[in-house]
Chain A
Amino acid sequence: MKFEKFPGEPEDNPYKPPESEESSKEQEGDFELREQMQELDEKAQVVGEQLENVDVDKLDKEGFNKVTDAIDRVMGGVYILAGSAAGGFAWAAMEEDPMGAIQKTVAAAVIVLGVSVGVKGFDQLIRGSKSFFEELTPEQKAELKS
């Protein structure tokens, strides 16, 4: 169906000028960032499942430190990204709903990045981390604090 044009409305131009190089670069960056985020979420899903199923005692000291350091770096980065407002809110809500609080922080971090991607993998990473840290012996917990 073809609609009549309003007076003064420009004619359709089939020969649109090419998008500016700047705008094209921006789109390329957005696309790559979204792809990277999706990939990161998939990795978070895998690590979350592994954390849930691993026997902590099977990790040697070096492996244990590397795993906890990696989780610390990822979640630490996410917290900074979410910002003090979201982080503060998350900590305030931590006692009532710890899982929800962390999930909201991850969601806030993704908004800061400016990409709209699902973060189901991160939900799994949070569940897995919780289960992993709950399994630690008092000695292992003490070592983490030292």
Chain B
Amino acid sequence: MNSVKMTKEELQSLAQKIREGKATDEEKILFVSELGVELDKASEILSKAQKDN
């Protein structure tokens, strides 16, 4: 599934939906994939900063 950039509020609202047991598997996957996108973004910046060290 392709991840779409979600706002912080959308991400939190999805987390809440999962928490309440109302989310589908697809939505859970989207949530996890969205967290992955955030980590990728952080990793790219940190990697660049490490190379500049």
Tell which of A43, A50, A113 touches B47, judged by Cβ atoms closer than 8 Å.
A50
Task: Let me know if A36 and B36 touch, CB within 8 A.
Answer: yes
Given contacts A58-B52, A73-B11, A112-B19, contact A47 B43 (CB under 8 A): yes
B36-53 residues with Cβ-Cβ distance < 8 A to A are: 36, 38-43, 45-50, 52-53
User: Within 8 Å CB of B31, what residues of A?
Assistant: 77
- What CA separation (Å) do A73 and B25 show in the bound complex? 21
B1-53 residues with Cβ-Cβ distance < 8 A to A are: 8, 11-12, 15-16, 18-19, 24-26, 28-29, 31-36, 38-43, 45-50, 52-53
Residue interface bits A25-57, CB-to-B below 8 A is 1, else 0: 010011011001101100110110011011100
- Residue of B15, B25, B38, B43 ringed by the most chain A CB atoms within 10 A: B38
A: number of interface residues (CB 8 Å): 38
Task: Let me know if B12 and A76 touch, CB within 8 A.
Answer: yes
Is A92 close to B, CB under 8 A? no
Given contacts A59-B49, A73-B11, contact A81 B42 (CB under 8 A): no
Q: Label chain A's interface by main secondary structure.
A: helix
- Residue of A70, A83, A112, A113 ringed by the most chain B CB atoms within 10 A: A70
Is A107 close to B, CB under 8 A? no
Given contacts A40-B39, A66-B42, A77-B11, contact A58 B53 (CB under 8 A): yes
User: Within 8 Å CB of B16, what residues of A?
Assistant: 80
Q: How distant is A65 from chain B, measured CB to nearest CB, in Å?
A: 10
Is A136 close to B, CB under 8 A? no
Given contacts A54-B49, A55-B53, A58-B52, contact A70 B38 (CB under 8 A): yes
Residues of B that sit less than 8 Å from A by CB: 8, 11-12, 15-16, 18-19, 24-26, 28-29, 31-36, 38-43, 45-50, 52-53
Q: List 8 A-B contacts (CB under 8 A).
A: A29-B26, A33-B28, A51-B46, A54-B53, A55-B53, A70-B42, A80-B19, A81-B19
